[in-house]
Structure 1
């Protein structure tokens, strides 16, 4: 049964037949020898050592088959049904589901450079990696926008209508994630919150403000907005808020560079409030 599954689930049926035909009854091989062979070292192999131990597979046939697979470079013939396969937990290598080409470590694996097949979303690739950026707070808007447009030229659903249903679904998922990544990184506050999440310091955006100094500032600002009689006054208050946002954004960057997450969280609290106050002013204008 195990040989029937191998024969029909992969593209190596011809190789299996050759193994049968050239079987040498005088040869022998151990399980440890098989484990070191190409069929087990291949990240896309559907066999495993544990399966061989559970099954009483003909040792001689497996020896012959392994030898042939090594010569034929089996990685190009045996494919996994999963979108990605990993060589090990530590290496976390990614392979194209369509052509088995290994992903370039220098670029996010959203689509295959070799066959240009769109890949399934991989949550281990963070938003910064999607745009080829290091995990840093300071980002140039023009650079981010350019890379966002480059991805949309590849992944937008309207541009993959001729591809398979599988790839169209992958493209829709990837496109949506790229959009979310762009919106997150383009906004200073959401970018700061995302960075803290990656650092294992999730931010409670509904946290109540308890500091007396900030509470007093909030009360004063609310009164100023409520008492504003014209758009000019509101625009002036808005300009002051935006300046505060820039200052506290810089404070967050400094805290993050020092890995002072407590000061980073304090900066985020300030930025959160100023952004909400600015949104209220926009509604009144």
Structure 2
């Protein structure tokens, strides 16, 4: 009796307990539980720093169990579950595999929604953005671009770390600021990639 582990329920097909995404006992794919957070899908703690956790491997394992094409022998109902679960796992994987989307998702779990279109008003950052754009547009050879790119990536890392510190201290204002910087540097890297 009673679902343990917050959300692992009884299998609709065989009634075994502890069914999560799919049932360990009979392999039936379970209906999507909207309360499941992305970290749980990969057996992770809700934290920003998730290096070396074999995300991709776990993702592939789930897809083997959940992919709609693999449950084609099953009922219409279960195939619908599989399509939803499979999409959920893809979403979870995409979100957690990138630092910025992972940071935004963590904030979202804390009930903090970020207006991505909010304009940046930080004069220091605006200056830097202008200088960086100029540097990128003036760079004509791959070496220069690669140098700029690695500088931007270092800045991204710095803000990524400051996100983690702020988030761990529950300083959400600073955490949000860090994600704005990260978004900007991520775009800046894309700009350089386009030119390379």
* Shorter-chain TM-score above 0.5: yes
Name the residue aligned to 1:97: 12
Change (3 A) 1:142 1:133: closer
Name the residue aligned to 2:91: 180
Q: TM-score of the superposition, structure 2-length normalised?
A: 0.93
Contact 1:161–1:168 at 8 Å: present in 2 too? Answer: yes
Q: Which of these residues, 133, 142, 162, is aligned with residue 251 of structure 1?
A: 162
Larger Rg: 1
Report the Cα distance in structure 2 between the residues aligned to 1:232 and 1:157, rounded to whole angstroms. Answer: 46
Q: Deviations over 1:112-143 (max 9, x none)?
A: 11221101111100100111111010112452
Name the residue aligned to 1:63: none
Name the residue aligned to 1:213: 124
The count of corresponding residues between Structure 1 and Structure 2 is 195
Q: Is 1:167 the counterpart of 2:78 in the alignment?
A: yes
Q: Deviations over 1:242-267 (max 9, x none)?
A: 11111111110111111110110111
Question: Which runs of at least 4 in structure 1 moved beyond 3 Å after TM superposition?
Answer: none
CA RMSD of aligned residues (A): 1.9
Listed as ranges, the gaps of 5+ residues in structure 1 are 1-41, 44-85
Equivalence map 1:39-54=2 (5 Å):
none
Looking at both structures, which has the greater relative contact order when contacts are Cα pairs under 8 Å and sequence separation is at least 6? 2
Report the Cα distance in structure 2 between the residues aligned to 1:271 and 1:277, rounded to whole angstroms. Answer: 10
Q: TM-score of the superposition, structure 1-length normalised?
A: 0.65
Change (3 A) 1:245 1:131: same
Report the Cα distance in structure 1 between the residues aligned to 2:53 and 2:102, rounded to whole angstroms. Answer: 16
Alpha-carbon offset, residue 95 of structure 1: 2.1
Report the Cα distance in structure 2 between the residues aligned to 1:159 and 1:98, rounded to whole angstroms. Answer: 17
Contact 1:141–1:186 at 8 Å: present in 2 too? Answer: no
Listed as ranges, the gaps of 5+ residues in structure 2 are none
